[in-house]
C-alpha cells in the first residue's frame, strides 16, 4: 500500500510538476513578450530623449545665432586665416573671425591715436554722455546679450546677468564720478601765498585691454569704460574662445555715440596678437593667469609703459564657530560655484571651525548635491559648463588625483557628459593634503576643498599659506571681530558674510590682488587715474625759494632755515 500510495503520489507530483512547467513556460513566454515590449518602450523613450536633447540644443543654437545677428549683424562669409569659435553649450560652430596681422594691429593703433586726439579734447560732460547711453542700451538689449554670453561662454543665465549688471553699474559710476576724479587739484605750494601748485591729468593715449574668456563682457568693457572716460582710446584683445561678446560690446558703444576707432577689437592668440598690441600701447590692462601676466607685465616694463594686472587666486573662506550656518551655506554655494568656479575671485579653499563642522559640512554637501547643472538659455540652471575640453581635463585631473591619494568627495567628483560635453558636477572634497595639486594650485572649476580648524589664528595662517592674495571671505556674527581678522589676511579684498560680490560691486573702492595675484587696482579713483599721466603746474609769485640777487646766499640760507623750522611746528602745514 505504501508503495502504491507512493506511486500515486509520485504520479500526482509528476502531474503537478508538468502543470507547473507548462504554467512557467506560459509565464516565460508572456514575460518575454513584456520584456520585448519594455525593451521597445525603453528604446522609444531613449530615442525620444535623444530627439528632445537634440531639439533643445538646436533651440540654443538658433537663439544664439539670433542674438548674434541682432547685436553684431550678419557674419561675413568664412575666408582664410580665420579663427573658428565654438559654443561650449552645444559644441556647434558659432562662426569664424579674421586673425589680426602685425600690419592690422599697426593700422588699428594708428586710427586709434588719431581718434584719441579729438576725444581727449572733448569736454568730459560729452564723454560721459556716451557711458550713460551705453548703460541704457545694455538693459534694452538684455535678452540678446544674455543669450550671446551664455552661448559663447557656457555659463548659467544668472552668471551672465552679473556681467550685464557689472558693466551697467561701472558705466553709471564713472559717468557720475569721472569729472570729479579728473578735475585739477590744488596743492600747497613751496611758499604759502606765493606758490600756486595744481595737478592736471592727461590721458595716457592708447590703452590695450587683454581680456580672458571667463567674463567676456565684464573684463573687456568694464576696464575700458574708465579709460574712455579719461580721454583714451582702447583696443581690446579678447580671448580666442569668446571674441563675439567683445564685438557685441563694441557695437553697443558705437550705437551709444562713440567713435568706432576709440574702441576696437583685434582677434588672435595672446602670444602673437596680444604681444604685438602691447608694443603699440601706452598702457596695459591685463586679466588672466599669473604665469601669462608676469610675461606681459615684463614686456610692458621693457617698453616703459604702465600696467595693471588682475591674476590668479587660491581664495579661501572661513566659517567661524559663531557663524549663522544656514546663511553661511547659502553664501558659500555662490562663493564657490558661480560661473562653475571659473572666476578669479571664486573660493577654492574653505576652513570650517571644528565646533560647527558637523553642522555646516553635511548641510553644505547636501546643498551642493542639489545644484542644477544645465545647458539651456534659461534661468533654470545653477551652474553652466566649463569653457572647453582642456579646462574639463584640468579639473578632472585635479579631482582624480586627490581621490586617488585619499581625498573624499562629499559631492560631485565626476564629469556629467549626459548634460554637456564639458559639464562637471560641483564638487566638495575633504581629506585633501599638501601633496595633492588641488591643495595649492588654482583649479578654476567647480571644486572646493574643506578643512577643519581649531582657532582663528590657525585659520588665518592657513588662508595666508599661498603665493596668491586676491580674495577672501569670513563668516561670523561678530562683524567687528571679523574686520580685525580681515586686516590680518593677505588679500586685496576680504568680504565679511559674503563671498565676493560685496567687495567687487563696491565700485567706489579699489579692487585687486596682493602677492602673485596682480598689481595695480581697478574701480574707484585708482581705476580711472591709472589711465592718466599726472602733471604738476606751479606758478611762483614774487620771491621764490632761491635767493634774490640782492641777498647773499648765506643770509638767505639762514632765513630759509628759520622759516622751515617755524612751519614744521604748524599742525597740518603740509596737508
Supply the DSSP string of 534-551, one letter for each residue. EEEEEEE-SS-SSPPTTS
Supply the DSSP string of 285-318, one letter for each residue. EEES-HHHHHHHHHHHHHTT-EEEEE----EEEE
CA 411 to chain centroid, in Å, comes to 24
φ/ψ bin of 116: left (φ > 0), alpha (ψ from -120 to 50), beta (otherwise): alpha
Q: Which residues contact 168 (CB under 8 A, 6 or more apart)?
A: 135, 138, 139
Catalytic-role residue among 152, 280, 336, 344:
344
Rounded Cα distance, 492 and 489, in Å? 9
- Helices 157-182 and 142-153 cross at an angle (nearest 10°) of 110
Rounded Cα distance, 243 and 388, in Å? 15
Q: What do you get for the CA distance between the two ends of the chain, in Å?
A: 128
30 is catalytic: no
Contacts 24+ apart (CB under 8 A), 353-358: 353/319, 353/320, 353/321, 353/323, 353/452, 353/453, 353/454, 353/459, 354/321, 354/452, 354/453, 354/454, 355/321, 356/319, 356/321, 356/323, 356/325, 357/452
Q: How many CB atoms are located within 10 Å of the residue 126 CB? A: 10
> Is there a contact between 195 and 189 (Cβ–Cβ < 8 Å)?
yes
Q: Residue 205: helix, strand or coil by DSSP?
A: coil
Say if strands 306-310 and 283-287 run parallel, antiparallel, or are unpaired: parallel
Rounded Cα distance, 444 and 271, in Å? 21
Catalytic-role residue among 141, 310, 348, 442:
310
Q: Which residue is associated with the grid cell 564720478?
A: 177
Q: Residue 107: helix, strand or coil by DSSP?
A: helix
344 is catalytic: yes
Q: How many CB atoms are located within 10 Å of the residue 407 CB? A: 19
Of 468, 552, 450, nearest to 514 (Cα)?
468
Tell me the three cell numbers of residue 266: 583685434
| Burial track 291-300 (b if 16+ CB lie within 10 A, e otherwise) | ebbebbbebb
Given 3-state DSSP classes, what are the helix, strand and coil percentages for the chain, each rounded to the nearest 5? 50, 20, 30
Backbone angles phi, psi at 210, to 5 degrees: -105, 115
Catalytic residue numbers read 310, 344
Amino acid at each position: 500500500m505504501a508503495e502504491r500510495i507512493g506511486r500515486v503520489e509520485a504520479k500526482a507530483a509528476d502531474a503537478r510538476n508538468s502543470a507547473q512547467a507548462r504554467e512557467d513556460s506560459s509565464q516565460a513566454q508572456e514575460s518575454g513578450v513584456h520584456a520585448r515590449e519594455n525593451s521597445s518602450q525603453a528604446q522609444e523613450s531613449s530615442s525620444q530623449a535623444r530627439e528632445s536633447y537634440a531639439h533643445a540644443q538646436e533651440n540654443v543654437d538658433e537663439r544664439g545665432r539670433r542674438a548674434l545677428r541682432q547685436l553684431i549683424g550678419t557674419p561675413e562669409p568664412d575666408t582664410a586665416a580665420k579663427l573658428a569659435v565654438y559654443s561650449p553649450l552645444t559644441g556647434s560652430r558659432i562662426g569664424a573671425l579674421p586673425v589680426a596681422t602685425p600690419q592690422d594691429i599697426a593700422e588699428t593703433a594708428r586710427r586709434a591715436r588719431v581718434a584719441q586726439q579729438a576725444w581727449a579734447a572733448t569736454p568730459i560732460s560729452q564723454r560721459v554722455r556716451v557711458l550713460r547711453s551705453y548703460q541704457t542700451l545694455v538693459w534694452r538689449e538684455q535678452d540678446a546679450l544674455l543669450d550671446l554670453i551664455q552661448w559663447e561662454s557656457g555659463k548659467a543665465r544668472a552668471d551672465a546677468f552679473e556681467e550685464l549688471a557689472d558693466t551697467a553699474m561701472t558705466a553709471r559710476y564713472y559717468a557720475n564720478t569721472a569729472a570729479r576724479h579728473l578735475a585739477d587739484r590744488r596743492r600747497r605750494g613751496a611758499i604759502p601765498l606765493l606758490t600756486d601748485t595744481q595737478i592736471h591729468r592727461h590721458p595716457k593715449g592708447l590703452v590695450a585691454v587683454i581680456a580672458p574668456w571667463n567674463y567676456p563682457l565684464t573684463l573687456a568693457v568694464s576696464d575700458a569704460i574708465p579709460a574712455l572716460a579719461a580721454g583714451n582710446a582702447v583696443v581690446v584683445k579678447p580671448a580666442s574662445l569668446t571674441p563675439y561678446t567683445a564685438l557685441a560690446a563694441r557695437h553697443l558703444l558705437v550705437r551709444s555715440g562713440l567713435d568706432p576707432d576709440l574702441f576696437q577689437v583685434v582677434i588672435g592668440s595672446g602670444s602673437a596678437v596680444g604681444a604685438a598690441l602691447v608694443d603699440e600701447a601706452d598702457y596695459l590692462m591685463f586679466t588672466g593667469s599669473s604665469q601669462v601676466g608676469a610675461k606681459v607685465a615684463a614686456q610692458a616694463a621693457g617698453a616703459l609703459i604702465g600696467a595693471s594686472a588682475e591674476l590668479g587666486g587660491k581664495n579661501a573662506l572661513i566659517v567661524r564657530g559663531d557663524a549663522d550656518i544656514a546663511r553661511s551655506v547659502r553664501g558659500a554655494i555662490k562663493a564657490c560655484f558661480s560661473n562653475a568656479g571659473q572666476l578669479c575671485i571664486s573660493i577654492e579653499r574653505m576652513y570650517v571651525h571644528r565646533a560647527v563642522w558637523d553642522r555646516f559640512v553635511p548641510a553644505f554637501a547636501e546643498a551642493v548635491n542639489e545644484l542644477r547643472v544645465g545647458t539651456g538659455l534659461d534661468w533654470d540652471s545653477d551652474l553652466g559648463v566649463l569653457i572647453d575640453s582642456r579646462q574639463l581635463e584640468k579639473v578632472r585631473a585635479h579631482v582624480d588625483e586627490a581621490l586617488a591619494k585619499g581625498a573624499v568627495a562629499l559631492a560631485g567628483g565626476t564629469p556629467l557628459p549626459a548634460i554637456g560635453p564639458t559639464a562637471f558636477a560641483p564638487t566638495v572634497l575633504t581629506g585633501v593634503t599638501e601633496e595633492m595639486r588641488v591643495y595649492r594650485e588654482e583649479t578654476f572649476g567647480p571644486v572646493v576643498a574643506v578643512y577643519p580648524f581649531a582657532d582663528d589664528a590657525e585659520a588665518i595662517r592657513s588662508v595666508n599659506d599661498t603665493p596668491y592674495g586676491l580674495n577672501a571671505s569670513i563668516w561670523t556674527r561678530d562683524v567687528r571681530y571679523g574686520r580685525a581678522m580681515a586686516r590680518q589676511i593677505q588679500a586685496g579684498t576680504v568680504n565679511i558674510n559674503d563671498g565676493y560680490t560685496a567687495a567687487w560691486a563696491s565700485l567706489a573702492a579699489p579692487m585687486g590682488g596682493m602677492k602673485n595675484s596682480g598689481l595695480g587696482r581697478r574701480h574707484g579713483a585708482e581705476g580711472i587715474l591709472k589711465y592718466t599721466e599726472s602733471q604738476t603746474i606751479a606758478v611762483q609769485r614774487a620771491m621764490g625759494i632761491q635767493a634774490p640777487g640782492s641777498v647773499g646766499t648765506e643770509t638767505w640760507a639762514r632765513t630759509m632755515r628759520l622759516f622751515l623750522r617755524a612751519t614744521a611746528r604748524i599742525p597740518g602745514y603740509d596737508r
